[in-house]
Amino acid sequence: MTELSLWGLEPGKIPAAVLASEEPITRFFAWHDSHPIALSMVLMEKFGHEWIIWEPATLKSEIIQTFKATSISEHNWNKIQAVRTLLNAINFWHQWEVFEKVIQALNNNVPDFSVIQKCTVPQLMAGIDIANQLRMEQYSPEIEKYVAACAVDEGVTFLPSPLEFAQVALADPMYRCNDCGNVDTDDLSDGRCDFCVGRFQHQHALSGRPAPWVPDDVGHNIVRFVKRDPELVKKRFEEVKGMDSCPINEESPEDVQACKLTVAYKYMQIRRAQLVKQLEELAKWVSK
């Protein structure tokens, strides 16, 4: 039994956005760790909604002139562009390539459009939490599968909020037919085995319906199951997520996964607390 300390994930230890400055707003855009929502709220305060559709060069020039900013860091510029993407279009919720790069930017990373940058579960939790605060939309099956694939890669079988939308894709429902032995993806709308009812045979295949010559009582003897059952990990995560440290039985998959998820959960809480702290620091300067 070992213990995973979460001492580095305490919201109370978040650094101030700007230190030793009489005018924090002038340095806020240059500081690498400005929160994406804080950045967007500062811009909304001064420019209204117009900045969302400005040309990048125009926006950058206006930020430097209006706020007397010393510079705009590459990290912050990418966060601003990510926010504009979220507010301007629907692609984030539908295309994995856009989703991945926006998540990376929201997590203080510089997107590289020439390579795949697989998101970690902590990045997904914090990034989606930030995106959901800006705009709520339904995620497409493509994004569900992308998030599920990231979780599989990290050996996680349960996805807590705000990732719960991808839980079915991660669990991967299956069925086994006790009559013919067919094992297949459980995408059945009628609860009948695809093979037994000849669902994809001959000319009627594109309809998705059973073959017309198969009796109605055929194909019902199936057993449903999931490849990745989340219940044990879910239970363990609920037990440990509020702890300051996480006792781990390294021989227990549930313990290992629950502690991975706890780190992700704490990181999301840090980003939330970071936003609150930065807005408090900036409030009196933004309104000038």
**Strand, coil or helix: what is 24?**
helix
Q: What is the pLDDT of residue 23?
A: 59
**pLDDT, tens only, 15-37:** 454 443 445 677 889 888 999 99
Reported pTM: 0.85
Q: What is the pLDDT of residue 22?
A: 46
In the predicted structure, residue 3 carries a pLDDT above the cut 50:
no
**pLDDT, tens only, 85-104:** 999 999 999 999 999 999 99
Q: Dihedral sign, CA of 177, 183, 189, 195?
A: negative
In the predicted structure, residue 258 carries a pLDDT above the cut 80:
yes
**pLDDT, tens only, 179-231:** 999 999 998 889 999 999 988 877 655 677 888 889 999 999 999 999 999 99
Percent of the chain at pLDDT above 70?
88
Q: What whole-number distance in Å separates Cα of residue 211 and Cα of residue 205?
A: 8
Residue spans of the domains in the chain: they are 2-170+228-286, 173-226
Comparing CA positions, the residue from 127, 133, 156 lying closest to residue 143 is 127
**Strand, coil or helix: what is 2?**
strand
**What are the Cα distances from residue 194, in Å, to 3, 33, 189, 248, 264?**
48, 52, 11, 43, 39
183: its two tokens: 């094992």
**Cβ atoms of 179 and 193 closer than 8 Å:** yes
25: its two tokens: 């707003």
In the predicted structure, residue 7 carries a pLDDT above the cut 50:
no
